[in-house]
Amino acid sequence: MIKELVEKLITYIRSLYGIKKITYPSAEIKNRQRVQTLLDYYQGNQLDYLDVEISKQFRNPSALKMQLSVSNIVRFITDTVCNSFKNGVRVTANNKNDQPILDKILKDVSFDSFLRLLEQTTFLCKTAFVKVGWKDTNQITLDIITPQYVNVNTTDLLELSEIVYPYKLMNFSVTEPIGTFNYWTPTTYKRIDQNGTTILVPENPDNTNPYGIIPIVTFRERQSLDGSYILWGGEELVNSQNTLNILLTSLNQLIKMQSFAQPVIKNPPTNKYTGVVDIVIDPSKPIVFEGGDKDTPGSFEFVSPDAKIAELQEVIDATYIRIFSFFGLNAASFVASAERMSGEGIKESSAKINEYREAVRLVFAPQIEKLIEVIKIVWNTHNEQEKLSDDGIQLEILQSSVSGLSVDDTIKTREWKLKNNMATLIDFMIEDTDNLDEQTAKDKLEKNKQINEQYNIADNLPSASNDSIG
């Protein structure tokens, strides 16, 4: 079984480059490729992909490739949308003796920050795996495994029975699947090469799994609708990024090539021996035409091309707005000409984002609880003297009373409320600070005013038409 599972993974990797017969459905191959593309896009590695896209779409793409232009909306959208756990989580042990141990474990792995990264990865990949590990420094480790090179077998599509994923690849282009892979079952752990040959692990010569479970937890953005264990994302984000990069590169090329007048020479004199035009364009000298006749007079002029720069910019702005609207975001940060959203518009967008985040919290909550359970098993395996009990935990996902898409949209919402007398600065201070009553907020506001006046803060601030509040 292990050889079959590894060969299936290796065959997939090689099939990407036509090295062996494809055994995965073409749709799944595209899904796995798309995951890698999105991860590359998020990291800002987009130029190579853009080069390929231009070559596919244009017959003579050399001019467009003079200076490629990209705008990383994948990262912006991912970072903005994925704030379901921005206020962290509270994990309370049912057994009070477990709490200090649990607090130490979660602090060591920076659990709140880890959940944010996990949500971002799951947003991009739709499925992510978390490997619970152990360090000799008496610490738990958490590692995220993305699904593009993962192969699994399951029991009733509920629990992992086998999993293979890379331990260390010799190259990241995966043109050849050369490297080392991890293989887990509930009773076995092996490290194998690309041929399925077991590699000796000195600290585990018997290839045993000491935990009795596979110490890996599966996280999904949503529940599976088609019975698939691994969920894959659609093409909307990759396609949006590609479309925008092509448009930006086209605009860049248009500005470079058609934003200035072009010299045009009609019937120039040529060298009778070589046929080469013998005209030098030099602003310090007159242009003289020798020869010619009345039927074919020579002439020289500058012609301004009809460059559709403004029209193309409008298309780009509209593309930004359409893409951002799909994800419930405001494009004003990317589009200078975009209208600022009204308070109602911000509320509608906030509702869409908040609905997504609430769905993520509902799906993630049982998966986080399972992760805590696996952490307990791994911890207890290595800590005979300081074990966690089986009494379980209570998980609470913390949420703030302040709701907004981003800092930018929160500021705009507050400006709108102030302008329409729907809130005061005191209200915002109370929202932003726990245990702050109205009188304390007033005293603090007055004190801040006195300090700012003392140091002339207001006079030294840059002026702006959209002064921010909060």
Where do the structural domains in the chain lie, given as residue ranges? 2-235+356-396
Q: In this predicted model, which residue has the larger pLDDT, 137 or 126?
A: 126
The vertex-359 CA angle with 354 and 360, nearest 5°, equals 95
CB 72, CB 41: distance < 8 Å: yes
> Residue 228 — pLDDT band, cuts 50, 70, 90?
confident
**Token pair listed for 464:** 């702006």
Q: Which residue has the higher pLDDT, 183 or 62?
A: 183
- pLDDT attached to residue 74: 96
Long-range Cβ contacts of 387-394 (<8 Å, 24+ apart): 388/93, 388/98, 388/101, 388/102, 389/93, 389/95, 389/97, 389/98, 391/93, 391/94, 391/95, 391/98, 392/93, 392/94, 393/91, 393/92, 393/93, 393/94, 393/98, 393/102, 393/369, 394/91, 394/92, 394/94
pLDDT digits (tens, 9 = 90+) for 425-468: 888 887 777 567 788 888 888 888 888 888 776 666 554 444 33
* % pLDDT > 70, the chain: 73
* Structure-model confidence comparison of residues 271 and 324, the more confident one: 324
pLDDT at 470 over 50: no
Alpha-carbon dihedral sign for residues 58, 59, 61, 64? negative
For residue 418, with 0-12 CB atoms within 10 Å meaning exposed, 13-18 middle and 19 or more buried, which class applies?
A: middle
Q: What is the pLDDT of residue 111?
A: 96
Q: Which of 99-108, 264-273, 394-403 shows the lowest mean pLDDT across its residues?
A: 264-273
Q: What is the structure's pLDDT at 351?
A: 77
Write the DSSP assignment of 281-332 as a string of letters: --TTS-----S--SSS--EEEEE-----HHHHHHHHHHHHHHHHHHTT--GG
Q: What is the pLDDT of residue 15?
A: 45
**Span 122-135, mean pLDDT?**
97
pLDDT tens-place string over residues 29-41: 888 889 999 999 9
Q: Could you give the CA distance from residue 76 to residue 90 in angstroms, rounded to a whole number?
A: 28
DSSP-H helix ranges across 44-146 = 47-57, 73-81, 99-108, 111-125
**Paired tokens of 237:** 């984000």
Please tell me the distance from the alpha carbon of residue 63 to that of residue 51, in angstroms, as a whole number: 12
Mean pLDDT of the chain: 81
| Single pTM value for the model | 0.74
Token code pair at residue 227? 């019975």
Q: Which pLDDT value is given to residue 434? A: 59
Residue whose C-alpha is closest to residue 124's, from 144, 141, 104, 96: 144
Q: Residue 357 in contact with residue 350, Cβ under 8 Å?
A: no
Give residue 20's pLDDT.
36
> For residue 215, what pLDDT is reported?
98
Least confident of 15-24, 188-197, 421-430: 15-24
Query: How do residues 293-341 score in pLDDT, each as one tens digit?
Result: 666 666 766 666 666 778 888 899 999 999 998 888 888 778 866 555 5
Residue at 378: amino acid letter: V
Model pLDDT for residues 77-106, shown as the tens digit of each residue: 999 999 999 889 999 999 999 999 999 999
Supply the pLDDT for residue 221: 92
In 3D space, the residue among 199, 226, 220 whose CA is nearest the CA of residue 123 turns out to be: 220
- The closest alpha carbon to 310, from 251, 253, 250, 246, belongs to 251
Both tokens of 79, joined, read 């970072």
pLDDT at 346 > cutoff 70 = no
The answer to whether residue 164 scores a pLDDT higher than 90 is yes
pLDDT band at 10 (very low <50, low <70, confident <90, very high): low
pLDDT of residue 289: 59
Banded pLDDT at 21 (limits 50, 70, 90): very low
Residue 353 has a pLDDT of: 87
Q: What is the pLDDT of residue 196?
A: 82
Tell me the average pLDDT across 409-418: 79
| Predicted confidence (pLDDT) per residue in 352-370, tens digit | 888 899 999 999 999 999 9
Candidate ranges 146-150, 214-218, 454-458; pick with highest mean pLDDT: 214-218
